[in-house]
Amino acid sequence: MYLNMRLIPDQHRLDIRSTAEMTVDQLALLRLPLGTSEVIRDYEDENRPRRGGVIFGFVPLLMTYILMECRKTTYRGIVKNLSDHDCACLGLPVGKDGKFMRPSAGTLNGFVNNRLSKVADQLVTELAKAVLESIPGSMIITLDSTPMQASSWNRDAEYNPHYGMRMDKAHIVMVNGHPLFMFQSSGTAGDNPFAAPLIELFHSVNPGGRKCSLCADGAYYCFETYALVYMRTGAVMACNLPEGAVSSGLEEEDIRKAYCDLWKADGYDPHRKNDTDFMLRFLFRNGRAELAGMYIRDLAMSGEKRGENPRHVCETVRRAMKRWVDFDIFRIRKATKELRVKCRFLCVGLLSALFRGYT
């Protein structure tokens, strides 16, 4: 078994990029796909108690947690206000008295901090693979960061003068508007250092190299990033260029000369001196990523492989995901901050899968 998001019928999916509050009936659509998760199945098999049984399964508790985040309430608040209809939609068990059994606030808290936290990264990866399988055509990848506002009195969060507030940052890679992976950083961290790990994570779930394009804002303007994007996706990154940016003037002959200079390196083939793609990849593998990136950036500037930069896709989704789930870091303890942000990102990834389209 594996996480199969295709089990949600298209006619039951929601409008594209809706920002309306998620209802429990809409969330119920996730129960069947989550029941196919190999990660959840393996975790439950490995952690099955030696005696007795499990009252609340992993999926019903995960569904309850997602509802809690959608309603922007607390562990105590969500448990206190669960109706019978809510319980039925979430898949909570029925007791011997015929009434729904509700988890305590401590049970739900323990689930998030002790059970979900152990497999959150694996679930994010499994979901990313399921999303890519559900996209039939080409893909638009976007790199961007979004602020996660903190309290003005939170000295653990750094003040960002651009946004005018204390905050952390969430660095996110999306495909066709679906958030795939995220890294959390301090509020003043640069965006470009997170480009490489995000691209590598995307490459890990897209090893076949399906056709795609990648766009980013000017924060990712870096020759090494141009090169890495090309190596991992085959795409010339569409990036907002800084004011006054000029072409380096590199020609194919310059790439050929640099390639021939490395004739002693493993993988050198004298018969492929006219294969630009091969030479660029060879230079990248042999410590000349900056030179390869300069040439690829020139291709983007010349318009030869220029594409549109549809960053509005990720900006629209970011606004929507902050409506679905409180993606700020107000009222979160420092000790559990990274965990809660990670779990909330899993929530928005699952919620994104409820929509009819990804573009």
- Both 186 and 125 in one domain: the answer is no
Contact 152, 25 (CB under 8 A): no
- Both 274 and 343 in one domain: the answer is no
pTM of the model: 0.90
- Both 258 and 151 in one domain: the answer is yes
* pLDDT at 307 (0 to 100): 47
* pLDDT at 314 (0 to 100): 64
Contact 105, 56 (CB under 8 A): no
- Both 228 and 297 in one domain: the answer is yes
CA 167 to CA 328: how far, in whole Å? Answer: 8
* pLDDT at 312 (0 to 100): 58
CA 273 to CA 269: how far, in whole Å? Answer: 8
- Both 120 and 157 in one domain: the answer is no
In a domain, 327, yes or no: no
CA 30 to CA 221: how far, in whole Å? Answer: 38
In a domain, 319, yes or no: no
Query: Hey, is 140 helix, strand or coil?
Result: strand
Contact 173, 203 (CB under 8 A): no
CA 35 to CA 57: how far, in whole Å? Answer: 10
* pLDDT at 344 (0 to 100): 95
Q: Which domain holds residue 127?
A: 5-135+334-352
CA 216 to CA 233: how far, in whole Å? Answer: 14
- Both 45 and 164 in one domain: the answer is no
Tens digit of each residue's pLDDT, the chain (359 residues): 578 888 888 888 877 666 777 889 999 999 999 999 999 999 999 988 877 667 899 999 999 999 999 999 999 999 999 999 999 999 999 998 999 999 999 999 999 999 999 999 999 999 999 999 888 877 889 999 999 999 998 888 999 999 999 999 999 999 988 999 999 999 999 999 999 999 999 999 987 767 788 999 889 999 999 999 999 998 999 988 887 778 888 999 999 999 999 999 999 999 999 999 999 999 999 999 999 999 999 998 886 454 455 555 666 677 778 888 888 998 888 888 999 999 999 999 999 888 876 44
In a domain, 219, yes or no: yes
In a domain, 38, yes or no: yes
Contact 294, 223 (CB under 8 A): yes
In a domain, 315, yes or no: no
In a domain, 92, yes or no: yes
What total of structural domains would you count in the chain? 2
- Both 75 and 209 in one domain: the answer is no
- Both 200 and 126 in one domain: the answer is no
Query: CATH number for the domain including 249?
Result: 3.30.420
In a domain, 316, yes or no: no
- Both 84 and 37 in one domain: the answer is yes
Predicted confidence (pLDDT) per residue in 64-110, tens digit = 999 999 999 999 999 999 999 999 999 999 998 999 999 999 999 99
Last residue of a domain, one of 261, 278, 302: 302
* pLDDT at 342 (0 to 100): 95
In a domain, 34, yes or no: yes
- Both 100 and 191 in one domain: the answer is no
